[in-house]
Structure 1
Amino acid sequence: MVPVDRPTRTRRRAFRPHLLVCACATVLFAGCAVPQPLSPIPGGDYAELPLSDGAQILPPSGVAPAEPPAPDTCGALASLRPGPAVPPGSRPPGSAVNDILARGRLVVGLDQNTNLFSFRDPTTGTLMGFDVDVAKEVARDLFGDPSKVEYRLLTFGSRFDALENDEVDLVVKGTTITCERAERVAFSTVYFQAYQRLLVPKGSGIEGPADLAGKRVCTATETTSLATVQRVQPEATIVAVPDWDDCLVVLQQRHADAASTDDSILAGLAAQDPNLEIVGPPLESEPYGIGVNKSHEDLVRFVNGTLDRMRADGTWMALYDRWLTVLGPVPGPPAPTYRD
């Protein structure tokens, strides 16, 4: 990933006329006007409108970077097995779970710019989405009350620092488990399996990575998606942006020919503009894990207990059906892998 250190934003940027916050075709929003069709983006002919704040143009690398090791080869996908239920106050002094219980709320890092996973309801301003509801389930098991969550808005670049500095208890931010990241923080078992693909305007003629040579591709900084695009097509120019909703604006304002990241995130962008479609084969496997400070093993085990309960009692499928049916049917949640 390309390191970018930006302060966490606590408010959205100025209104963008091309960014549609809702879509008539999804269960998330209703009563929105259908956007006007966009004309196809001609390759190499880009708008002169200013880019979003913090966006960068990265020229073609010309050489594909080395493929990183798959997380299953280094054991990163294997987490700690849930421990036996322990009554509050019976845990060892200084345990992370006891500290959270004493505080009276769970502090969770996420963002507000990922439609379907964590975004602001345009009417109420409350955070909602699949990741938000997963965090609430952990709070439910901790306190018997899913509302006892304090959300901290994090950038891609600050999420691991926030865990290491104990600024948040968990990061539930569509975070792919990688070998490199597992050196810094602990991860839960995989709670969602995504795959990196391409989002393009309908009729663009782009069908896979071979068609990206000489084209512009939008992706986010501090994510595995950027390096994957450079690897699968080193002749592509990268439009690197701070947040995923910026890629929607970049496509609509004709600054890029395609966007690339996890299909789960692309589905959230496509739901806001029916002129866009997801195409091409999977470029990379993206197993999501909940991030935890590496020294808080008791919290890792507790979170894995919640995920096990969600798999068993149907909660995971209920959340999938609420938020993610646009991705198509799934047989069920990812099976856990434990190392102990």
Structure 2
Amino acid sequence: MKMFKRLTGMGVILALAAMMLSACGQGGGSSNSNAAGNTEAPKAEAPKTETAAPQAGSLEEIKKRGKFVAGVKYDTFLFGFKNPTSGQVEGFDVDMAKAIAKKIFGDETKLELKEVTSKTRIPMLQNGDIDAIIATMTITDERKQQVDFSDVYFKAGQSLLVKKGSPIKSVTDIKKGTKVLGAKGSTSVKNIREKAPEATVLEFDNYQDAFAALKAGQGDVLTTDNAILYGMAKQDPNFEVVGGNFTDEPYGIAVKKGDTELQQLINDVIKSMQESGEYDKLYEQWMGVKPSK
């Protein structure tokens, strides 16, 4: 009897031990278990959705908007100049913008012009305020790091504007004490500092302000691209362009980096205008001479 009782007691103990081991195996072996022993199913990741919003300045966005927005100058006679009589912005660059709008929409009036200066044009393009810069902008390696350029649409070169009778006839006449006027952010300011390092360079927000300063006697010479200077000389015959060109300043139309579709369309417009003779007519209309080949 004693032996039977001992065996019975041991059986109970073994059974209890087995139950405890089973409970531990169910509740403590998984890192996903909670306090009640329930396991959590792994959470499924939400499917990733990519938005296909058109890039600002891309053809898709321009067409969706219903107009082409071009940054042009309002102070550059012959290229982009706000006519004080009509209030309209006119010039070679404006007509190039119209040709691009016509290519996109078949209607040159689907165009909005926004005023830019040499200082503001790249930031406005990068901020999406404009689709392209058509504003006497010289193609340079430095600017190519910030924007993409079209093919050359105007061949220009830097020159000098002086009052008739000035002793300054070329860039070699610019000495220490000579006051040279230019526009902020323009390549012409950088170039003149290299060509005449002893000169005093005064920078203005735009070319009309610089020209007004020259007429007021605040400087001796104004420098920028010859085409712009010819326009100033036409405005006031008391001034003349001298010295020929001392740099090569090809103009390009700038678009956002990577906006290859719009860049190609603009190149197609330039090429088509050149092949049809429309470009030569436009050039002669504004510059008074035929383009050099």
**TM-score range normalised by the length of the shorter chain:** 0.7 to 0.9
Residue in structure 2 matched with residue 155 of structure 1 by the alignment: 117
Q: Deviations for 1:69-110, whole angstroms, at most 9, x for unmatched residues?
A: xxxxxxxxxxxxxxxxxxxxxxx9837112111111001111
Distance in 1, Cα, partners of 2:146 & 2:211: 31
Shift of 1:163: 1.6
Answering whether residue 152 of structure 2 is matched by residue 190 of structure 1, we say yes
Residue in structure 1 matched with residue 291 of structure 2 by the alignment: 330
Distance in 2, Cα, partners of 1:191 & 1:180: 19
1:247 aligned to 202, 205, 210, which one? 210
Letter in 1 for 2:291: V
Distance in 2, Cα, partners of 1:230 & 1:215: 12
Distance in 1, Cα, partners of 2:91 & 2:150: 19
Matches within 5 A, 1:34-53: none
Helix, strand or coil for the counterpart of 1:108? strand
Helix, strand or coil for the counterpart of 1:260? strand
Unaligned runs of 5+ residues in structure 1 are: 1-91, 333-340
Matches within 5 A, 1:93-242: 94=54, 96-213=58-175, 214-242=177-205
Matches within 5 A, 1:23-42: none
Answering whether residue 244 of structure 2 is matched by residue 281 of structure 1, we say yes
Letter in 1 for 2:105: F
Shift of 1:142: 0.6
Distance in 2, Cα, partners of 1:331 & 1:232: 26
Q: Deviations for 1:226-261, whole angstroms, at most 9, x for unmatched residues?
A: 011111111111121111111221111111111111
Q: Which has the higher relative contact order, 1 or 2, with Cα contacts under 8 A spaced 6 or more apart?
A: 1
Superposition TM-score, scaled by structure 1 size: 0.68
Residue in structure 2 matched with residue 314 of structure 1 by the alignment: 277
Contact map agreement 1:232 1:283 (CA 8 A) in 2 = no
Distance in 2, Cα, partners of 1:157 & 1:227: 13
Distance in 2, Cα, partners of 1:155 & 1:205: 31
The structure 1 segments of at least 4 consecutive aligned residues displaced by more than 3 Å after TM superposition are 92-95
Superposition TM-score, scaled by structure 2 size: 0.79
Contact map agreement 2:121 2:133 (CA 8 A) in 1 = yes
Shift of 1:155: 2.5
Residue in structure 1 matched with residue 222 of structure 2 by the alignment: 259
Distance in 2, Cα, partners of 1:241 & 1:269: 16
Contact map agreement 2:184 2:205 (CA 8 A) in 1 = yes
Answering whether residue 257 of structure 2 is matched by residue 297 of structure 1, we say no
Question: Among the aligned pairs, what percent are the same residue?
Answer: 38
Unaligned runs of 5+ residues in structure 2 are: 1-51
